[in-house]
A and B are shown apart, each in its own frame.
Chain A
Amino acid sequence: MKRLMLVPALVLCLCMSAFAAPVEIELVQYKQEALRTFDALAKKFNETHKNIHLTISSPNEPMTILKTRFIRENYPDIIGIGGDMDYSNFQDAELLADLTGYKGLEKIKKAYIDIIDGLKFVPRPGVFGVPYMANAAGVLYNKDIFDAHGWKIPESWPEFMKLCDDIQAAGIRPMFFGFKDTWTTLAPWNALAVDIAPADVCQNVNLGKTTFTKEYHEVAEKIYAMLKYAEEGPFAYGYNDACTAFARGESAMFVIGNYAIPQILSVNPKLNIDSFVMPGRNDSNHTLNSGVDIMFCVMDSCPHKEAAYEVLDFLLEPENIQAYVDEQNSVPCQTGEFRLTPMLNGMKKYIDAGRMSDYHDHHYPSEMAVDAQIQTYLIHGDINAFLARFDKDWIRYNRDIISKLKNYMAAH
């Protein structure tokens, strides 16, 4: 059936090419779970734009595919990737085009432009991506359990600890961690770190202005303090166990991001979830842990930059953003009024006010395995050894970046 449909389409294409061949734009995006949303967007684009033909692919193992394509020098035109270390590396490898002057950037919230700017190894001028959607992390909680006991959202760290005590006293497990999968340790770590430590801590360490021993001490203490409210032996259970446990009401809270919601709902679609910002500080002046979930970068090698911008314009149209937000429960990076999922109600005022800061681990080199180091610390409990190793390893794993940064700073 599909083949038969293709024939007239092909004929149509051939006829049109007699006038002007449409420019081919290929977009590869890394959120495989958003495949259907992107397919729909591509279809809509191609129906409304006759001069450009857009192909969006959402492959499995997207980052491996992108990297191997880069090795082959078989570049797509636009890539949709997360605002993390991969972006930093691609930018540093000079694969991405500078989008300064592209009008769509004006509509993006400044907080997110700053976030991706902070990801650059070296503060070279230029904007190399258009932040599209953000995610937000903090504490997800079971609204039904909270309502039944009349518990309130904590405003500060002491209140949070008090709440945990209350929940435990009521015979309910406050949190489920699932620390067997090392990466899950980063969820509470990041949520605490953005609230307690300065956002540019990594860059300042690189410049030799401070140390992690100094900046992360409180973070490390507090994440350790949370352990006693979790399941027994959290290192035996994985992320999947934690999602299932929270979905089945076996814990009142789950310190994780909105990205876990689909997995939780797949186990229990009726679960009444809401969220709040992790109150890491002792006062009530908090910062939301939010990062760029997907951003679009135009490849430097793309021969049709104008056409690529037209694709970006289309993706940034408010109705298309809203469609994406509705389907993926995401947080848009663009200014303007959008309907968000009610599961993020507790975070909305931070999002609207732009009071957010990026995941610290987006600045950690993955080969340093900070997640495994945190897991090790939580098992041993030796805070000094942990922080000392953090500082020592940091210097080693980042020395190329540090020397690059120092050279750049000396030259500018």
Chain B
Amino acid sequence: MRIFEPHIHMTSRTTADYRAMYDAGVRALVEPAFWTGQPRTGVGSFRDYFDGLIGWERFRAAQFGIAHHCTIALNPKEANDPRLTGVLDVLPRYLAKDGVVAVGEIGFDSRTPEEEKVFRRQLELAKEFELPVLVHTPHRDKAEGTRHTLRLVAESGISPEMVLVDHLNETTVAMVHDSGCVMGFSIYPDTKMAPDRMVRILSEWGTDRMVVNSAADWGHSDPLSTLYTGRAMLAAGFTDDEVDRVLWRNPVDFFARSGRLSLEGASSVGATFEGNSILRGERPEGDAG
């Protein structure tokens, strides 16, 4: 089973996770820019975070044979903090970079006017940089938030196949299916969506435009939930080809629309990043100047 993990926050995960993911069949992933649990206080924190996503984390993933890509955005939750509006001004520099395969995560948290303004601005940026969009749907008031999201996407004029609407469940799948957008499901240990529920949704709606992710981060989550979903699909009678479509071809097709997906990335990075290795204390011959 080969797995393209389309949504995972590896910054919060360990090298043991990388190893387990590789063993499970993960060969490529996308790490969306999002909230990091602790609210940030200034634009500089975001710059460092973005630099990490295009730099150190890409290097770390490559050490485990996994090609790392990212999405860049000001997330909905922090869009409400006036200290952070300057993040919008630095986004263009990052959206121009190789390895940045979408604008995201954008969308709604509490559906405030500030969130809507930032959402609309970032949809404009996606058009300008010809990038796909990764949309986060809210945890609270999810159905209405998703409906509102689809209205903004339609008004933006962005083609629906360029938009992945994520964190869906039984109550939101129909409207996103009708919109023509790509449908994302985050499989969590307890909440959001579980492998058996995912299998029921796939049985009802088919595998077209369907994408599954672990959305694993710093909270209670499991980076192998994509694997568990693939196994549950096979147990329910889906074919290997259908599993491959959901776990590999669908997310690859979506992010390839950026023109910046490189699935050979794992082999192009050296053994050190800016001279620093992940091997603590073990250094190849030659001093750390």
**Co-assembled chains A and B:** no
Query: Which A positions have Cβ atoms within 8 angstroms of B?
Result: none
Query: Which B positions have Cβ atoms within 8 angstroms of A?
Result: none
